[in-house]
Chain A
């Protein structure tokens, strides 16, 4: 029966192609993601079940995580993708530049059911990840207890790796300088606060190795190039679980962030794209991803659906939130991101 149905379906799709032309295939959903283990996890948790449920064919595309190509697609009106997975900062950029669709949450899920900051105008959260500190206990005899130990070069001498980006680093710098987590963004919104954060970073500037790609922190630790590094928790967990590395994660003072998914302007099957967004925003489905990769759900009511063995490794597991953490303020970065990036690049170059 199923066999017959898929064939009928294929026939129908083929007819649609012939009659309407390829631009109007309603049953194909083209998703652009950034590849690797994360995309594999999404395939198992969402692509395949969604395909089964709706009969839609998911076409997967990879990109190198940059919005430039999406902007080029939108400008030329030739948009072969329906959904794109992106970072929060990228959603804000794309939203302002008018290349991402403003989402209609009535077609997805109630907006207030998402963790604060994970439901944006142009992108909806896929999962939560932590910006954490990782180290190799076979190299570092004394264990760091907080991400802020980055700034303690007397107790932890040696190179440390940080992401070549102002977000998170400025927040941590202020925290290390004694600003309470609740006040971080208030302070950072003032010129004096920015000055203070850069002053703090200045104290360790010569000890910092900057990383760009998400794969670098684990490599830097494995090659002993650095004694500690900031990282996305999933990458380090992956090195521990699948590559047998002895790395340890420090969760105290982690910064929580969200991966996002968005619809480019001019996408060919927006209705199906909305269906997909509604599908993954369902609390049960939302919790499923955690079974395949150590990123947590973004629905407030999804925690109870997370598989029991997956929970302890998630950034938003209760244990990992007890030692102080900060939720990245997407609105702040939307307003000040561009200026701070510019300032940061100038600071780096000096």
Chain B
């Protein structure tokens, strides 16, 4: 504090030490600022802490645990410990030495006793199509006690001498695996240790990811075009009429997505109301196939998402003082200029918030695509749900989700950078 009281210092000394004193001055001010800032930061942190802690516990831990399965899958390693040891020195070319075959035979025998042979077969089959039946066949043969030495049994099943079998096994015996993440991008390891694309008849995910992002973008754009003018109208109406319109926007919200999807099937089906209307007006000469089409899917999703885009825009519009526009007019701005220069920049955060919510939510749709979309309109979540519930391949589901999460966050980061969302306090 003493540096703030120059009266204690004699003038010549001050003159001599002016720069030093000014320095000290600046330092202590900035120290005080830092202290204040520290307090501010602490308060902000404390404000945010309850939610952050809650989310970390209720969402963070479960998701990290589940997503880690995309890279950690010990099933094969646990089932084939001896094989893993025998293969540790193998260079991946040709066939491994006979001791690998013997090790595999004794591992398989153990697995049958422990009851893990089926899990092994399933897990290996995910990496090596057709492996399931071969593993089980071999296990049965090994258990037959025919007196045939295990090595001979292994050699008698051609599958175990096929060129692609052993690299897949060696790959599988590593608990940490890149297999699922690569598969989620339609990639795989080839026998030379490089990465290649999977054959076209198996490649689906890249296409589905692109489709998901495209549908999400189309729906976001549609909701913005439909929603922005309506939000503007409501925000600028007197209280009474505005309340009526807000109810109209909120009503769909209270109707289950399932019911709304079912309602859209009623509207869009071949003998449905939309087709009736189009025929009656004479726009179309024949009934259109709106159901099970990309168009129908986008229409239904736009309907469901519209309030999500509209409400954030509206709530920001409400905070804009009408006096600002009046000021602009009185300064001679034309309505359009005032709108563009004064209004739009202030509404922008709301637009971004609304579009962001809609875009992200669209990425997770799967009930609506399943019921309204055709076979080529299924989104990534349909595949993920299928892996979780039907194929019970949670590793693959985790990998797809992980890729989706990374893509989305990256996209988000790029947009934030380009649009300078930082300054808009949104990010």
Contact = CB atoms under 8 A, between A and B. Distances in A.
Interface of A: 66-68, 71, 90, 93-99, 102, 159, 164, 208-210, 212, 223-225, 334-336, 338-339, 341-343, 345-350
B125 A338 contact: yes
Given A97-B119, A223-B269, 16 more contacts: A67-B392, A68-B392, A71-B394, A93-B392, A95-B118, A96-B121, A97-B118, A98-B118, A224-B270, A336-B130, A338-B125, A339-B130, A341-B391, A342-B202, A343-B201, A345-B204
B207 interface: yes
A315 B390 CA distance: 26
Contacts of A67: 389-390, 392
Interface string B40-83: 00000000000000000000000000000000000000000000
A96 B201 contact: no
A88 B338 CA distance: 67
A160 to B, nearest CB: 12
Nearest to B129: A339
Contacts of A341: 390-391
B68 to A, nearest CB: 14
Contacts, number: 93
A348 B375 contact: yes
Contact of A346 (B118, B203, B386): B203
A96 B269 contact: no
B375 A210 contact: yes
B132 interface: yes
A336 B129 CA distance: 8
A191 B405 CA distance: 36
Given A223-B269, A349-B375, A94 B392 contact: yes
B390 A349 contact: no
Contacts of B119: 96-98
Contacts of B389: 66-68
A72 to B, nearest CB: 9
Interface in B370-427: 370-371, 374-376, 378, 383, 386, 388-392, 394
Interface in B178-206: 201-204
B390 A66 contact: yes
Contact of A93 (B207, B376, B391): B391
B203 A224 contact: no
Interface residues of B, number: 41
B208 interface: yes
Nearest to A208: B375
Contacts of B376: 348-350
B176 to A, nearest CB: 20
Given A96-B118, A212-B370, A339-B129, A346 B391 contact: no
Contacts of A208: 375
Interface of B: 115-116, 118-119, 121-122, 125-126, 129-130, 132-133, 201-204, 207-208, 265-266, 269-272, 289, 291-292, 370-371, 374-376, 378, 383, 386, 388-392, 394
Contacts of B271: 223-225
B118 A338 contact: no
Contacts of A349: 204, 207-208, 375-376, 378
18 contacts: A67-B389, A68-B389, A90-B390, A93-B390, A93-B391, A98-B116, A98-B118, A164-B375, A223-B272, A335-B133, A336-B133, A338-B125, A341-B391, A342-B129, A343-B202, A348-B378, A349-B204, A349-B208
B138 to A, nearest CB: 13
Nearest to A339: B129
A338 B370 contact: no
A330 to B, nearest CB: 13
A347 B115 contact: no
A114 B370 CA distance: 36
Contacts of A225: 269-271, 291
B122 A97 contact: yes
Nearest to A338: B125
A175 B352 CA distance: 55
A345 B400 CA distance: 15
Contacts of B371: 212
Contacts of A339: 125, 129-130
Contacts of A98: 115-116, 118-119
B410 to A, nearest CB: 24
B129 A68 contact: no
A67 B397 CA distance: 14
A140 to B, nearest CB: 15
B394 to A, nearest CB: 8
A81 B332 CA distance: 74
Nearest to A102: B115
Contacts of A223: 265-266, 269-272
B136 to A, nearest CB: 8
Contacts of B370: 212
Nearest to A70: B392
B122 A345 contact: no
A343 B203 CA distance: 9
Nearest to A346: B204
Nearest to A216: B371
Contacts of A212: 370-371
Nearest to B393: A338
A24 B54 CA distance: 34
A338 B116 contact: no
A-B complex: 5 closest residue pairs judged by Cβ atoms: A66-B389, A68-B389, A335-B133, A348-B375, A96-B122
A132 B204 CA distance: 30
A338 B126 contact: yes
Nearest to A347: B201
Nearest to A205: B375
A227 to B, nearest CB: 11
A98 B376 CA distance: 33
A345 B374 contact: no
Nearest to A66: B389
Nearest to B376: A349
B195 to A, nearest CB: 20
A97 B387 CA distance: 13
A343 B130 CA distance: 13
Contacts of A159: 270, 289
A107 B17 CA distance: 100
B388 A68 contact: yes
A159 B375 CA distance: 14
A346 B116 contact: no
Contact of B292 (A209, A334, A336, A342): A209
Contacts of A71: 392, 394
A178 to B, nearest CB: 24
**Central interface residue in B208, B383, B390, by most chain A CB within 10 Å:** B390
Contacts of A348: 375-376, 378
Given A97-B119, A223-B269, A210 B374 contact: yes
A166 to B, nearest CB: 12
